[in-house]
Amino acid sequence: MAECHPVGYQWVMEARERGAKVFHIDPRFSRTSATVDRYLAIRAGTDIVLLGALINHVLSNGLDFREYVLAYTNAATLVNRDFRDTEDLDGLFSGFDEETGRYDPSTWAYEGDVPEEEELTEGGKRHAEAAGSDSYGARGAGASATPPEDPTLTDPRCVYQILKRHYSRYTPEMVEELCGIPREQFDELAEAITANSGRERTTAWVYSVGWTQHSVGVQYIRAASILQLLLGNMGRPGGGIMALRGHASIQGSTDIPTLFNLLPGYIAMPHAHRHDGLDHYLEREGADTGWWGNRRAYVVSLLKAWWGDAATEANDYCFDYLPRLTGDHGHYATVMGQIDGTVKGYFVVGENPAVGSANGKAQRLGLANLDWLVVRDLVLVETATFWKDAPEIETGELRTEEIGTEVFFMPAASHVEKEGTFTNTQRLLQWREKALDPPGDCRSDLWFYYHLGKRVRQRLGDDEIDRPVMELTWDYPEIGAQRDPDAGAVLREINGTAADGRLLASLRELKPDGSTSCGCWIYCGVYADGVNMAARRKPHTEQGPVALEWGWAWPANRRILYNRASADPQGRPWSERKKYVYWDGTRWTGPDVPDFEEDKAPGYRPPEGAKAEHALAGTDPFIMQSDGRGWLYVPSGLSDGPLPTHYEPHESPVRNALYGQQSNPARRTVDRPENPYNPALSPRFPYVYTTSRLTEHHTTGAMSRPLPYLAELQPEAFCEVSREMAEEIGLDNGGWATIVTTRTAIELRVLVTGRVRPLRLNGKVVHQIVMPYHWGYSSGGVVTGDVVNDLPSIVLDPNVYIQESKAGTCDVLPGRRPRGRALLDLIERYRDG
């Protein structure tokens, strides 16, 4: 966090000054490790072992916050009789299909829940993506609001008992053997988090891409969620799990998504074979209880925002104008489509996949096979210049004169040259003013897409097929000589309006009948009463510590989600020290906006057949879930199991000591010549690598390498190795190393350091190498270097299709890499050896 979020990290430093105990768990000893109470070195790719052992520690010692767990989680809920755990099947859950490598999740359901109806079929065949994550979207999927429970937690089929059995083999000994964390360090961590949880205290977890970029990445976060729920650390001040993001407004780009399977506000993208019309889509995509029960209002309001008067009840509010999914259209599937020639054109906006995505060679081979490519960036990034300076030109795999891709480089405005909002880690929207006009032809992304849209519309006619574009509301006021669309007008459209044009104040005003429009239901209220709430900058000295008048947090300006859980079931604060949102006898109150209906009494019990929020009791704080509970166990919505389970990375030097199943059985592999894998347990690739970032650079370096003041601070691509590893291989500090995988080999300068230590796993010594990935072959860079992301393979988490770039295997040779054809020969030898 100190390394990549130094500005936010000031608060960790301050918390520490005020007595907080801070642990840092990371394969790499970073600036964060240097400034905490205790650093735990861990083998990359083994965090679920550690988290699982902490869960086991809590459960087997009875340290869970029992009152919280009973009232607010699904611990007591009974699970389907046919469910089989990894304990029963040596690392598999019930429902796995060996042939397709996919799970059928129907046996994971709660007792009494009916499995989903059979998929619509294509040509009589069950669609290949049936169990894919896009079938659920990122939200509580269909499950009963009042499933059968055993409040004594003794029924072997209740979640609590399943959890206990599942994690029983996650012991401190396993942590030592798989993670390389010694027993006394584990004990200290376990003691600290349990001593600092409960009525009087809370513990927070913070993670970043070190947890997500794994073939079992989603389950890492799930494991932390289980721990936090068991310890009563969700929805309470000082608790929670914080996702640190990789760029400014990455949170914003999932809220109003650049993701293929989501619409604004985490609404699922419709599927070509799963959904017939709006009614059918709404019926299938989620439960009727909890706040998602109102999804018709959210979806219809979104359609009204996009198609305005053209969207009517008679035409399903233009639901059929929305594109449809037919499967995985994620980044890596798109790249494979490029190589295959099925994807002809490509927009790359503020990204640099030639350097930033896993298996850079596959990325560049895809780029070289396009008809056209649009790159929008501040500088000529490698993705725009690959045709003349990619490593494949040097090896002869690509020849400039044979690349047919027409590249359009569109210079972009920087953040001070445009207005708009950033939405960062804490869901906080903060408005930026424009300081000056962008120079020359540089323009904002908003300008680009708005004017592109206008020109596209000029070229379309009244064909039926053109109507979704022609009928879009596309009429923002244009400002100044550059005719910038008014970003405020866009934010007002996102906020939403009533039929009379009045700006909505709250998402509760959204209607399912087409009388309201709203571009993103969770952002509704950001422009309440015509005031740009995101632009508020009242200093903390003039308001309370929750600072509700600084910017605006979705939803409804709540700063802590699910904060009803900060009070006990009767609505009283768990303790005076942790008092936050509570019931004052007539309503919920406190320093934050209650995440609950203000007047729903703790004693409220839903009547039979109640829908949406009315189906949740006054003691159900997790209001987006169909049962209002925090899910220790996930009955539906995940592709790789209801409980986090340790699987070794796809490329690992050690055997999975917990199960016969080595790696995540549901992981997505891309088995193609462009993407060869290092065999697991291969002696040819004995070292573990992980990729990382440095404070001095930003992602692929496009915003830092061209700047001398940043480039001089970390001028060359390097790797960090332990003294022992340097000795074993013959690496010199300040010299060169060649890192080899079956994808390619790159050369890096060597930094030998005592901060990296060999790990002892069950008697075997495993060396880790750490590689910051900020360098590439151009980007107008004052400094350049080999592309670290050329090393990882494309192997994906099955829920969100993120690549496993944080843990893999490699070989390391002293000296610089071979050039030209000789480089390919070296890789050939490794592949065949």
By CB under 8 A, name the binding residues for other proteins: 2, 6-7, 9-10, 13, 17, 29, 31-35, 694-696, 708-716, 718, 733-734, 749-755, 782-783
Min separation Cβ 35 and other proteins, Å: 5
Min separation Cβ 710 and other proteins, Å: 7
Burial annotation 650-667 (CB, 10 A radius, 16+ → b, else e):
bbbbbebebbebbbbbbb
Q: Which of 84/723 has CB closer to other proteins?
A: 723
Q: Which of 92/752 has CB closer to other proteins?
A: 752
Which H helix or E strand runs over 826? helix 821-832
Min separation Cβ 45 and other proteins, Å: 24
Q: Considering only CA atoms, which of 105, 123, 43 is closest in space to residue 689?
A: 43
Min separation Cβ 732 and other proteins, Å: 9
Q: Which of 2/48 has CB closer to other proteins?
A: 2
Interaxial angle between packed helices 47-60 and 159-166, expressed in degrees from 0 to 180 and rounded to the nearest 10:
120
**Are the C-beta atoms of residues 4 and 208 closer than 8 Å to each other?**
yes
Q: Which of 230/752 has CB closer to other proteins?
A: 752
> Rounded to whole angstroms, how far apart are CA atoms 175 and 182?
8
Min separation Cβ 714 and other proteins, Å: 6
Q: How many CB atoms lie within 10 A of CB 727?
A: 11
Q: Which of 522/721 has CB closer to other proteins?
A: 721
Provide the token pair at 148.
Answer: 């059968």
Q: How far is CA 399 from the centre of its chain?
A: 37
Handedness of CA 649, 650, 655, 656 (dihedral sign): positive
Q: Which of 7/465 has CB closer to other proteins?
A: 7
Please measure the distance between the N-terminal and C-terminal CA atoms of the chain and give it in whole angstroms. Answer: 40
- 43-to-172, 185, 280, 331, 401 alpha-carbon distances in Å: 15, 14, 46, 28, 45
Q: Which of 594/785 has CB closer to other proteins?
A: 785
Q: Which of 29/96 has CB closer to other proteins?
A: 29
**Are the C-beta atoms of residues 73 and 629 closer than 8 Å to each other?**
yes
Interstrand relation of 764-766 and 759-761 (parallel, antiparallel or unpaired): antiparallel
Min separation Cβ 783 and other proteins, Å: 5
Min separation Cβ 378 and other proteins, Å: 17
**Are the C-beta atoms of residues 3 and 691 closer than 8 Å to each other?**
no
Which H helix or E strand runs over 388? helix 382-389
Q: Is 544 exposed, middle or buried (0-12, 13-18, 19+ CB in 10 A)?
A: exposed
- 436-to-414, 415, 416, 431, 480 alpha-carbon distances in Å: 10, 10, 7, 15, 12
Min separation Cβ 718 and other proteins, Å: 7
Q: Which of 288/696 has CB closer to other proteins?
A: 696
Q: How far is CA 692 from the centre of its chain?
A: 17
Min separation Cβ 39 and other proteins, Å: 8
Q: Which of 641/785 has CB closer to other proteins?
A: 785
Q: Which of 282/719 has CB closer to other proteins?
A: 719
Q: Which of 416/713 has CB closer to other proteins?
A: 713
Q: Which of 223/746 has CB closer to other proteins?
A: 746
Min separation Cβ 188 and other proteins, Å: 15
Residue 272 sits at φ, ψ, to 5 deg, of -60, -35
Min separation Cβ 24 and other proteins, Å: 12
Q: Residue 654 contacts by C-beta under 8 Å, 6 or more apart in sequence?
A: 178, 648, 681, 761, 764, 766
**Are the C-beta atoms of residues 682 and 809 closer than 8 Å to each other?**
yes
Sequence-ordered strand ranges (E) for 150-234: 205-207
Min separation Cβ 4 and other proteins, Å: 10
Q: Is the peptide bond before 555 cis (omega within 30 degrees of 0)?
A: yes
Min separation Cβ 9 and other proteins, Å: 6
Q: Which of 658/711 has CB closer to other proteins?
A: 711
Min separation Cβ 785 and other proteins, Å: 10
Q: Which of 628/772 has CB closer to other proteins?
A: 772
Provide the token pair at 782.
Answer: 């004052």
**Are the C-beta atoms of residues 699 and 352 closer than 8 Å to each other?**
yes
Q: Residue 831 contacts by C-beta under 8 Å, 6 or more apart in sequence?
A: 676, 742
**Are the C-beta atoms of residues 720 and 751 closer than 8 Å to each other?**
yes
Min separation Cβ 253 and other proteins, Å: 25
> Rounded to whole angstroms, how far apart are CA atoms 45 and 31?
21
Q: Which of 130/721 has CB closer to other proteins?
A: 721
Q: Considering only CA atoms, which of 357, 316, 236, 741 is closest in space to residue 514?
A: 316
Q: Considering only CA atoms, which of 165, 238, 227, 233 is closest in space to residue 190?
A: 227
Q: Which of 537/764 has CB closer to other proteins?
A: 537
**Are the C-beta atoms of residues 788 and 747 closer than 8 Å to each other?**
no
Interstrand relation of 96-97 and 552-553 (parallel, antiparallel or unpaired): unpaired
Interaxial angle between packed helices 360-367 and 382-389, expressed in degrees from 0 to 180 and rounded to the nearest 10:
80
Min separation Cβ 37 and other proteins, Å: 11
Min separation Cβ 828 and other proteins, Å: 31
